[in-house]
Each structure stands twice: as C-alpha cells, then as structure tokens.
Structure 1
Amino acid sequence: MIRVLIADDEAMIRAGVRAILASDDGIEVIGEAADGRAAVELVRAHRPDVVLLDIRMPGLDGLRAAEEIATVAPGTAVVILTTFGDDENIGRALAGGAAGFLLKASDPRELIGAVHAVAGGAAFLSPMIARRVIDGYSDAARAATARARRRVEGLTDREREVLALLGAGHSNGEIGKALHLVEGTVKAHVSSILIKLDARNRVQAAVVAHEAGLV
C-alpha cells in the first residue's frame, strides 16, 4: 500500500485529489495539510511514501517545503502538484529534490501514475512539463548536451544502460528485469551513477540522461 500525504491550501482541491487517489486500491491517503509547514511536520511524524505539494501555500511554500522534506525524510518522494508550470518553478522543484512535477490540469490517470512511479523509485514529469523543459533548451540545450555527454563518459557501459532506463522513468525493479540483474545490483549501479554524475537524486540523473541523448 502506498501511503500518501496531500498538501494544498484549498480544501476543495484536497478533496478532489483524495477522491482520485481513492479510486486506486493500492493507494492510501494518510493525511492532509493546508500549508507547507504543517506538511513538513506531518511528513516528519508519519513518514508517508509520497507527499503531493502545491507550490503556493501560506507560510512555507511548496518548493521550500520540498527542500525541507528531502532533508528530514529522504525516503519520502515529493511530487509537486500545481497550477504554475513556469520554468522557474520547474527548475526550483527539480533542484530542490522533487521526484515529480504534475499540473493540476493533468488527466487524473497521470496523478495515479505519478504516485506509483515515484513510490517505486522512479521520476515522473507530466508530459506537458517534459515538453516545456525540452522546448526551453535551444542554445542552452546544446551546451547542456555537451556537458552531459562529458559527464556520462565516466560511466561504465552497464551504468549507461542503467542510466538510460532510469531516465525513461523505470523503477529499480523494472531496470533489473530489463537487464537481467537483481535489484540490489541495480541499486548499487544507481548509487555509483549518482556519485559519478554528482547528482543529488534520480530526477537530476534522469535530466542528464535526456541531455546526453541516452533516452
């Protein structure tokens, strides 16, 4: 059972998200918060598998809450669920350790898919967000591609295979099945990849995979 915390300052939004998640028997909503500070404290107390954070909340906003959660409960995956999908918010969310970014206008099936993906150790970007990230590159993208390719040069062939599957959104278990590896070996490869790429988490490693053209 995937245990989820919902944080949004609008009660109607929280109710809607709860109703969507209730349609999946594998998901349990264990609590709600109306502001970022309360969300951090509930995560600290209950250690949910996933927390869904709005960006604009009173007191502590969702982006700063995500950064604190990454510190106090690194085992909890953060998904930003918001109306505001601008480049600055996307960049801050990913840099702050969020495992996913989803727009409230997304299909409800994307929300359920995002929860399962990040709970399984994968990263999840809404297709609309992924398209925005890709479209925003231009000249900066070419420079980023060159940097990313230099970064992956230090990986072994097997690590590049793992990184490519990680970048495509696969969990450790799925990567293991695809490459005929036990999950413990996949975890070891992922840890080595993060160290070699100087990446804080799987999302940042996935970005490098995309920039380097491995995905």
Structure 2
Amino acid sequence: MTAGNGGGEKIRIILADDHQLVLEGLRSLIEAEPDMEVLAAVKDGGVCLDAVHRHRPDVVVLDLEMGPMGGLQCLESLRTAHPGVRVLVLTAYSDGESMRAALEGGASGFALKTEPPQQTVASIR
C-alpha cells in the first residue's frame, strides 16, 4: 500500500489498538523505518477519530476489537468523515467473517498480528 505522497515525504500513520504492548511494539517497528512516521497511538475508536481529524494521516492501522468504540464502528465513521484515509485492519482474528466485515466496511487492507513484523510494515506501505 502506498500513501500517495511523492518525494521524500514520510507515510503519516495513526495506530489504534487497545493493547499497550501492541501499540508500543508497532510504534517502535514503524519509527525504525525512514519513510514512516507515527503521529498518534490510541486505545479507542472514538479517540482514533479525533486523532484522524486533528492529524490528517495517510494511514490508520486499526484493531477490530477495541472498546468502548470498536474497530468496525470506527472504520465506518472514518469512511464517512475521512474517505481519503487508508485503513489497514490489524487483528488477531483470521476468520473469514472478520476479514469480510472489515473489507465490506471499507478497509484498504487486512493484516494479521501473527504475521512477521516486516509483513505488517509492507502492508502499511
């Protein structure tokens, strides 16, 4: 996935996951990449929407299972309010129902937390 910003600009990313360990791991992984920048790391879909409105990222890496506003509800709101933002759903659930719901909800891509870290980085790009 490419962010569509040419030249030397970094891919601007917001991370949304309700597990602090996942957020910190993703932030460390992404910040080690010279062409990527983490703008915010949030633990709730509502906070994610606020962060997207404030920072205008290229990509949101979104977990499906968050509370109080879950990932699918957040995805639906993102598609309405910020249709140009790409959304990579990052989840532990590899079942067809979760994938279908995310893609039907307008996700740009789908990645599994069980994949190697560099696969996630490639999916963000």
Query: Structure 1 length as normaliser, TM-score?
Result: 0.53
1:25 to 34, 48, 57: 34
Gaps spanning 5+ residues in structure 2: where?
1-9
Aligned residue in 1 for 2:65:
56
1:101 corresponds to which residue? 110
C-alpha root-mean-square deviation of aligned residues, in Å?
A: 0.8
SS at structure 2 position matched to 1:32: strand
Query: Structure 2: which amino acid aligns with 1:60?
Result: M
Deviation readout 1:1-27 (Å, 9 max, x if unpaired)? 100000011111100011111121000
The equivalent of 2:124 in structure 1 is 115
Query: Deviation above 4 Å: which 4+ runs of structure 1?
Result: none
Secondary structure at 2:34 match in 1 = coil
Residue deviations 1:8-49 (CA, integer Å, cap 9, x gap): 111111000111111210000000111111111111221100
CA distance in 2, matches of 1:69, 1:33: 15
Instruction: Indicate whether 1:5 and 2:32 are aligned.
Output: no
CA distance in 1, matches of 2:73, 2:98: 11
Q: Secondary structure at the match of 2:90?
A: strand
Residue deviations 1:92-130 (CA, integer Å, cap 9, x gap): 1000100010000111111111111xxxxxxxxxxxxxx
Q: CA separation in 2, counterparts of 1:89 and 1:44?
A: 26
Instruction: Tell me which amino acid in the other structure corresponds to 2:44.
Output: D
Post-superposition Cα deviations, 1:135-183, rounded to whole Å, max 9, x if no partner, equal xxxxxxxxxxxxxxxxxxxxxxxxxxxxxxxxxxxxxxxxxxxxxxxxx
- Cα shift at 1:71: 1.1
Question: What are the ranges of 5 or more consecutive residues in structure 1 without an aligned counterpart?
Answer: 117-215
For the residue of structure 1 that corresponds to 2:107, the secondary structure is coil
SS in 1 for 2:83: coil
SS in 2 for 1:4: strand
Greater percentage in strand: 2
Task: Report the TM-score, using the length of structure 2 for normalisation.
Answer: 0.89
Q: Cα distance, 1:72 vs. partner?
A: 0.8
Q: Distance in 2 between matches of 1:9 and 1:49?
A: 21
More contact order relative to length (CA 8 Å, sep ≥ 6): 2
Match of 1:84 in 2: 93
Point out the structure with the larger helix share: 1
Q: Compute the displacement of 1:85 (Å).
A: 1.6
Do residues 46 (structure 1) and 55 (structure 2) align?
yes
1:64-75 mapped onto 2 (5 Å cutoff): 64-75=73-84
What letter is aligned with 1:78? V
